[in-house]
Chains A and B, each alone.
Chain A
Amino acid sequence: GAGVSQTPSNKVTEKGKYVELRCDPISGHTALYWYRQSLGQGPEFLIYFQGTGAADDSGLPNDRFFAVRPEGSVSTLKIQRTERGDSAVYLCASSLMLAGGTGELFFGEGSRLTVL
């Protein structure tokens, strides 16, 4: 597709359940990012991938959160034992790598997670 694609667009789950959120970046973009946006707030950084490896996962809130990008394209954010406080919009972004740094971040429309 032309842009960053995220699925599902909406996910409602019960406290304690496991959730997977998928991101399909723009073709050719080697850098991929996950951010989390709570209601009325700006996005918060979670993790950054360069290719297949997590170059910076310092934003993951705790060990219930994990993300993979096994082939350097699609990424999955995995949340174990969900809690009500995990409810938010999870945004994925991708970018090219340019000389001197990353290029413009292109965001997807997000996956809205609601934990009941």
Chain B
Amino acid sequence: GENVEQHPSTLSVQEGDSAVIKCTYSDSASNYFPWYKQELGKGPQLIIDIRSNVGEKKDQRIAVTLNKTAKHFSLHITETQPEDSAVYFCAASRGDYKLSFGAGTTVTVRA
């Protein structure tokens, strides 16, 4: 099955700085790569996703890049704000529903 590894496990950044989270996956047939944000006591919420036919996608302060050859993808958050503090999960799947998640990155934005 798919194995997704995520780094770092914790990340502390100064407000206004950028945050980068990296993931690798094992199944070369995976074609869907979403990122989720989970706040304490809440369920994961989709923040951005990318499919295998695209190398990069941006949505305001958030961007995701995908390197299919190397089987890795990354989340970039620019101009971080205190409300960006949360646990972020990457995931991968063949198709959309049977997601394999990474172990998560706890992001803390220092004011």
Contact across chains for B97 and A91 when beta carbons are under 8 A apart? no
Give the contact stretch, choosing among B39-47, B54-62, B68-76, B77-85: B39-47
Query: Is A21 part of the binding interface, using a Cβ–Cβ cutoff of 8 Å?
Result: no
Interface size on A, residues (CB 8 A): 27
Q: How far apart are the CA atoms of A43 and B34 in the complex, in Å? A: 13
Contact across chains for B43 and A91 when beta carbons are under 8 A apart? yes
Contact across chains for A43 and B97 when beta carbons are under 8 A apart? no
User: With contacts A33-B97, A95-B97 known, is A109 near B103, CB below 8 A?
Assistant: no
The residues in A between 89 and 112 inclusive whose CB is less than 8 angstroms from any CB of B are: 91, 93, 95, 101-110
Q: Which residues of B contact A109 (CB under 8 A)?
A: 41-43
Query: Is A44 part of the binding interface, using a Cβ–Cβ cutoff of 8 Å?
Result: yes
User: With contacts A101-B96, A102-B96, A102-B97 known, is A107 near B104, CB below 8 A?
Assistant: no
Interface size on B, residues (CB 8 A): 24
User: With contacts A91-B43, A104-B46 known, is A41 near B98, CB below 8 A?
Assistant: no
Sample of 7 more A-B contacts, CB < 8 Å, known A42-B103, A45-B100, A101-B96: A31-B97, A35-B99, A41-B101, A42-B104, A48-B98, A101-B32, A107-B43
Top 4 A-B residue pairs of the complex, sorted by shortest distance between their CB atoms:
A42-B101, A107-B43, A102-B96, A101-B96
Q: Which residues of A contact B (CB under 8 A)?
A: 4, 31, 33, 35, 40-45, 48, 56, 58-59, 91, 93, 95, 101-110
- Listed by A's residue number, 28 A-B pairs whose Cβ atoms lie within 8 Å are A4-B43, A31-B97, A41-B101, A41-B104, A42-B89, A42-B91, A42-B102, A42-B103, A42-B104, A43-B44, A44-B101, A45-B97, A45-B98, A45-B99, A56-B98, A59-B98, A91-B44, A95-B97, A101-B32, A102-B95, A102-B97, A104-B46, A104-B49, A105-B34, A105-B97, A107-B36, A107-B43, A109-B41
